[in-house]
Amino acid sequence: LIVLGPLIQCVGGPRDRRLEIVPDACIHVGNDGVIESIEAGHHTHTDSEQQQQHTVVTVQWPQFIVPGFVDLHLHAPQLPQAGTRMHVPLETWLRETTIPREARFSDLEWAQKVWQKLVRKTLSNGTSTAVYFASKHAQSALLLAEECLQRGQRAFVGKVCMDNKDMCLCQATAQKDSSVSLSEPCVCTESTQESVEETRHFIQEMASLNNTQTINNNDDPLVQAVITPRFVPSCSPELLTKLGQLTQEYKIHVQSHAWESDWQVLYGEETRNARDLDIFLSHNLVSPKGTVLAHAVHANDSEITRLAETGVGVAHCPLSNAFFANGIMPARLMLDAGVAVGLGTDIGGAWSASILDSCRQAITSSRILRDGVGKLRGGKPCEHVAEINHIDAFWMATVGGALALGRKGGIQVGAKFDALVIDVENESNIDYFHELDTPEDLFQKFVALGDDRNIRQVFVDGKCVLAK
């Protein structure tokens, strides 16, 4: 594959993220989906003989190429509830609505219906890589991975582990909510043994699923299993220990929630006498492949330093945090400390499946963090430099998410070609004035105003998986 056209992306590491514009890029992609070369000035480099041997995609300004988005954290079974019931505290939301509703995903027909909608929707919004929490059922998680494989979305999928029965009120809830079926005993959680065995089963099934892939992709299959302890309050120390053993045995990614709300942090301090990162580290739940902790709103300064040192990534979910987290995550502070911070939509702790919405929320919430609630109201602005701009946000949405997964991010030699073709001239929120707008302006407009209507093509692993 050869892709010709204007390339706009954010490059660099967490500390030196910056905008890069190549007006006339020529991107060579190998059959394995890996980018072999990127050159500027394609007219001089690509002769017609070369073009005849390859599929050539030509993108013409004001259309442009950007890297695909990484949604570093979302809950697949929560799509049906997205946009509802977000007005209660996290603990209530989880115990009364969210965890009981996930029990329904033992029904594989229901699961299939939701997975189809979700994968189509996230791909259409430019999510070329998604890091999913599925449900506690290995079979439904496997079905999600198959759906991603079939549609061509790069996916990291976790079968959710949770053995603490106190984390759900399914019996009490069933009486109030007809979508939750009453049953005995609790079907929302699982025993420790069941959780570990189902996880092992899931990992093995995922390996054989990938063996059916035709492309030679053994080191980096399109869909990969992730060890997924839901969060500290859901998991007994014994479960965490066993999941840590699986992590070291299979050397695959780990994901969980950490430092999300006052209640959640306090739970660890009171019941385990420890805080989230220490708990995960002490159970060997930090993977050499990559570890993603969602939220991290209440990480303290020394924990932020340790995130950077241990290479543990953070999924910043700014919209969900506005509802459930009792605070704003200091994303700028973390980036400047060298932490691999990516963005998550956190469906259905938030209502949008669009990473562009996460970008915008990251930007606006950072301004509130910077300025406080105003002197008259007694709110103090944040002491450190808190501001996230459109470049920082887009960096997190692409490169940062990849780094958190231990991958090469953005469009660069050696990375997989996961990319989007952006179109600003169809009916959408973006008004492009060629007399006025520079490429920088148009990029900023895309971050501020873009949506699925502006995403014309989605490439994953060097293949066009969506065109509209």
Nearest CB to Fe ion, comparing residues 81 and 210: 81
Build a one-symbol-per-residue string for 128-167: x at contacts with Fe ion by CB under 5 A, - elsewhere.
Answer: ----------------------------------------
Of 260-299, binders to Fe ion (CB under 5 A) are 294
Nearest CB to Fe ion, comparing residues 346 and 418: 346
Crossing angle of the two packed helices 439-449 and 355-371, in degrees rounded to 10: 90
Nearest CB to Fe ion, comparing residues 22 and 82: 82
Contact 441, 395 (CB under 8 A): no
Of 90-109, binders to ligand GUN (CB under 6 A) are 94, 98
Distances (CA, A) of 151 to 113, 145, 343: 14, 10, 22
Nearest to 395 by CA among 13, 129, 124: 13
CB atoms within 10 A of CB 354: 22
**Angle in degrees, CA 344, 348, 354, rounded to 5:** 45
Q: Which residues pair with 58 in a beta bridge?
A: 4
- The one among 71, 346, 357, 392 contacting ligand GUN by CB under 6 A: 346
Nearest CB to ligand GUN, comparing residues 134 and 399: 134
- The one among 68, 126, 349, 400 contacting ligand GUN by CB under 6 A: 349
Question: C-beta of 299: minimal distance to ligand GUN in Å?
Answer: 15
Q: What torsion, rounded to 10 degrees, do the Cα atoms 258, 259, 264, 270 define?
A: 100
Of 50-79, binders to ligand GUN (CB under 6 A) are 75
Question: C-beta of 237: minimal distance to ligand GUN in Å?
Answer: 17
| Per-residue tokens: 421 | 């073709």
- Is residue 260 involved in binding ligand GUN (CB under 6 A)? yes
CA atoms of 110 and 140, how far apart (whole Å): 9
217-246 burial string, b = 16+ CB within 10 Å, else e?
Answer: eeeebbbbbbbbbbbbbbbeeebbbbbbeb
What residue is closest to ligand GUN based on CB?
349
Q: What torsion, rounded to 10 degrees, do the Cα atoms 116, 399, 351, 268 define?
A: 110
- The one among 97, 129, 287, 320 contacting ligand GUN by CB under 6 A: 320
- The one among 324, 351, 394, 446 contacting ligand GUN by CB under 6 A: 324
Of 294-353, binders to Fe ion (CB under 5 A) are 294, 346
- Is residue 298 involved in binding ligand GUN (CB under 6 A)? no
CA atoms of 117 and 450, how far apart (whole Å): 21
Distances (CA, A) of 242 to 108, 195, 250: 27, 10, 12
Question: C-beta of 231: minimal distance to Fe ion in Å?
Answer: 8
Nearest CB to ligand GUN, comparing residues 229 and 290: 229
Given Fe ion, ligand GUN, none, residue 242, with its beta carbon under 5 to 8 Å by kind, binds none
Given ligand GUN, Fe ion, none, residue 466, with its beta carbon under 5 to 8 Å by kind, binds none
Nearest CB to ligand GUN, comparing residues 69 and 231: 231
Using CB under 6 A, list all residues that contact ligand GUN. Answer: 75, 94, 98, 230-231, 257, 260, 320, 324, 346, 349
Using CB under 5 A, list all residues that contact Fe ion. Answer: 294, 346
